[in-house]
Amino acid sequence: MEVIVAKSGGFCWGVERAIDIARKVAEENPQLRVSTYGPLVHNEEALKPLRDLGVTAVKAEPDPKVETWQTDAVVLRAHGITPHERNRIKSIRTEGRQVFDGTCPDVGIIHATVKKHINKGYNVIVVGDAGHAETDGIMGYTPAGRGMIVENPEQASSVNFPVDQPICAVSQSTQEAENFWAIVDALKVRYPHLEPFNTICEATTSRQTDLKELIETCDAVIVIGAHHSANTCRLAQMSRDRGRVTYHIENESELNLEELRQYRRIGITAGASTPPAAMYRVKALLDPLEPLNRAS
């Protein structure tokens, strides 16, 4: 059996940066109770080393009462937060607590793009997953009635901004490029003056490009990552949509090795919040397997 690991699978630099920030705060300040504002990333294996250092998560409620948080330092999650949340969290400092910003800089660029265009009078379309932490954070920069989430081209018809007002579109950083541009094309039927800003991050683009190569050359694809991770689920769906047999697993314990023997060439990739080591543990299990059909 031939096993091919994607070149760019696993941690993206934004996730790695957020984890490093939390780890460094905990290691350099053992006397402090360190917490993250909601889950730092969407992967339990990635969070375990932080839990081993005593890092916990405070609940990111709609209106948390800061004084009830049993923590000395808070690290903001990689997905970013709304301006309203950020302003409330600033009050932590008045309580003698410290705040460390783990927001991915690529997400910060999206926030800045939306803020700039809102200030210029634009209405904003956010191409992304409704209810996702990153999308919620982006939408927080749009006043009531000035922003709208669109998940797919079919939803473009529900946009009802006045056609004579300026409008732009940004993307959640982990979206699929084809979906973003399909939505832009659908919107331009009614809003030909729409200005699109492709804010999909380079890490997402490279992972999706590498996945397409695996799809072309492999009989099956294994995607590793949490089932509630948006970018991991998107990788798995991309593979399925292109007709490739796809296994979305959280870790190697979910593999059915006997079933996988039916394939001669298997590709492995992983979501941006999945430790890269997870891919190589899967590879180590598959490498010794002999395919049921050895014919070329």
Active centre residues (catalytic):
134
Residues 6+ apart with CB under 8 A from 235: 207, 208, 211, 223, 225, 269, 271
Closest by CA position to 35, among listed 5, 67, 71: 71
Tokens linked to 129: 């997953």
Q: Which residue has the tokens 């832009």?
A: 184
Phi first, then psi, for residue 152 (nearest 5°) are -155, 165
Handedness of CA 191, 197, 203, 205 (dihedral sign): positive
